[in-house]
Amino acid sequence: MCFCVTSSCSNDSNAGMDVAVALKSLQVDRKVGPVSKELFTPGAAAGKRRLEEFVRKRLSIFGKQRNDPTKQALSGLSPWIKFGQISAQRCALVVKKAAKGAAKSAAADFLEESIVRRELSDNFCWYNQNYDSLKGASAWAAVPAVFQCLQISCVKATV
């Protein structure tokens, strides 16, 4: 299905569609503003700059400090990868090329997360028809007793 916004569109599939009415009908929180361009500048060039900045400034500390929320050790590439403005493959190749000295171990950690874990999650979703519900979880995670124990622990902890 194609939706044309301009009057010069030759597509008849949305003839008579009022874009303003369609946008107004969306049930979204309109108080949420656009993402700051300082935080996320869209586009492939911006994604490439973020990748280069990560390799130059943070790759060497990524391995040991990526799980510490008080450190700026993460790549920050997720928005560009998610929206297809830079590929995970390009990121992996650039990081692999930079894997020298102190950054060698950190690069291996980055590659493990960006390739191996990504593939594992893709395969889990592809081969598990219940990937999006508790039916798809491991048996130990789907046992109601586990949830009851967790609830009891939380109640005791707050008393």
Alpha carbon of 131 to those of 13, 109, 137, 145: distances in Å?
34, 26, 7, 21
What is the reported pLDDT for 54?
97
What is the reported pLDDT for 40?
86
Q: What single-letter amino acid sits at 138?
A: S
Alpha carbon of 75 to those of 53, 83, 116: distances in Å?
9, 16, 17
What is the reported pLDDT for 143?
65
- Assign domain 44-127 one CATH number from 1.25.40.80, 3.40.50.450, 1.10.1060.10, 1.10.10.10: 1.25.40.80
| pLDDT averages per 10-residue partition of the chain, 159 residues | 45 69 89 83 95 97 95 94 95 96 93 93 93 84 61 50
What is the reported pLDDT for 60?
95
CA distance 102 to 72: 17
Buried-state track 31-64, b at ≥16 Cβ within 10 A, e below 16: eeeeeeeeebbeeeebbbebbeebbeebbbbbbe
What is the reported pLDDT for 1?
38
Count other C-beta atoms under 10 Å from residue 98's C-beta: 20
The token pair that represents 25 in the structure block: 């009908």
What is the reported pLDDT for 82?
93
What is the reported pLDDT for 6?
44
- State the sign of the Cα–Cα–Cα–Cα dihedral 129, 134, 135, 140: positive
